[in-house]
Amino acid sequence: MKPRFFILLISILASLAVNAQSSRSPYASYTIPSYTDQEVKLRLNQIINAIVPARFDAIVRSYVNTYTVRKRDRTEAMLGRAVMYFPIMEEIMQQKNMPMDLKYLSVVESALDPKATSRSGAAGLWQFMPPTGREKGLKINRFVDERRDPHKSTDAAMRYLKQLFDRYGNWELALAAYNGGPGRVNRAIKRGKSKNFWRIRKYLPRETRNYVPAYIAATYIMQYYQMHNLVPLYPALDLQMTAATKVYQKFTFEQISAITGVSIDRIALLNPSYKKNVLLANQRGNFLILPQNGMLAMHQYLGRPDKPKVYNLLETPIQAPNHNQRLANERGLLPPPPAGDYIKSNYTVRKGDRIEDLAKLFHCTTQNILTWNRLSTVFLHEGQLLYVYLPREKITVKRIESFPSVPALPIAPSVSKKPISTDYKTSYKRYQQRNSRKKQKTKTTLNLKAFAPEQYLFYQIQRRETLVEIADKFHGVTVKDIMQLNNITKKHLPIPGRKLKIKKI
């Protein structure tokens, strides 16, 4: 009888332990999938064009276990934030011809939290220390910390990583130097008499020694999280479908909220680098990120000719995979899109269609199309029906009467400290008179119809301004367009003060 009693007791205790684990886990009705080392190795080897060759050891196993078992809730939150920041990173990496896989380094550094701050004082998505951040051109003062700016910090990180890669010739050592500094890596190379990271890692500090394995684990989890039943905790749709622009004059978050109808909390969440909820005047321009609909109102208020730059989401939580749908609904992760804000459309694949071309056609990413249609491959076949989701354009009613001190034209704040009338004709006439009296050159972006007798948009060149910088201010305009329209040659470049034709209105 005793053996049976003990067997029964053990089975009861085991059952209670399983139930307790289930109650603690957010996956009340879903078990945490088990996996073997061999499965992880196989998946790592299937990653195409990885900048760090697949390598699986005890350190990588530990990080994978942390992501998939020990801290699943943090992993889900981090996966959800990827839709806000990966598109920004990918565009900058493409501009600088850097590997797209480098975006996974921000997972290791900050878990994709721009407000993350370490004990040593490193901050932002890329965890720059204050001296390094300033060295890379990031402004840090009591009003702004550009280490937390997704655009500027990513740009600085890519410039730094390129320097390190050019120095060492492989990404393992470049990543180690990003974490521990070139000095420590150089000493390890000298002691180990090798430029192979895995041979010299024992001469590096523990954190730096484990940094490359941590990157390998982050790459793995970002590509195979579905295999571990992880459900990304996506932010609200208006935080995913965002647009970015540059503003050059002073704006408070309250003024931006009044213009666009976007709440101050939303503005602060999308723009974490501004400590005092204010964008100060800046000749280089400050990045402002807003929901797409809010940006339409902001651009209409500023009177800018260029359209907002849209950062399409990496994955869209409009539809969830079948096996996670019930769980997602229980946890409230995937609410249906607001009625009237999004349009669901379909497209029938034609012969020769590629998913990359369709992504450009619908202004989204290939990952969007894969997620919306639950596709496991990028290959399409003729006659295949695809679903796409597009935001319905909507402009919020502007309440600019509440803030008459905000200029109706994007004129540099140094022109005048007095409030400018929000009436366009009056404010622009006063601006011309004041400019004529003082006989000083000021930086301004001309309104579309300010000089449009021939139905062209004109722009006055500012001091030290290049044609590339001018072209970047206008949507769909290239340097070649400007040169052809104004009969400019490389030998006779225009001088500051000259008005250029930009494009037809």
Calculate helix-pair angle for 72-95, 211-224, nearest 10 degrees.
100
Residue among 261, 288, 262 nearest 274 (CA): 288
How many other C-beta atoms can be found within 10 angstroms of the C-beta atom of residue 57? 11
Distance CA 299, CA 304 (A): 6
How many Cα atoms within 13 Å fall on the side-chain side of residue 94? 6
Helix (H, G, I), strand (E, B) or coil at 10: helix
Distance CA 101, CA 220 (A): 11
**Which residues, at least 6 apart from 382, have a Cβ–Cβ distance to it below 8 Å?**
349, 350, 351, 353
How many other C-beta atoms can be found within 10 angstroms of the C-beta atom of residue 174? 25
Length of the chain in residues, anyone? 505
Q: What are 146's two structure tokens?
A: 């550009």
SS3 content of the chain, % helix, strand, coil (to 5): 50, 10, 40
Distance CA 33, CA 482 (A): 58
How many other C-beta atoms can be found within 10 angstroms of the C-beta atom of residue 346? 9
- Which residues are tagged catalytic? 109
At residue 50, φ and ψ (nearest 5 deg) are: -70, 135
Instruction: Give me the residue label for tokens 């101050």.
Output: 264
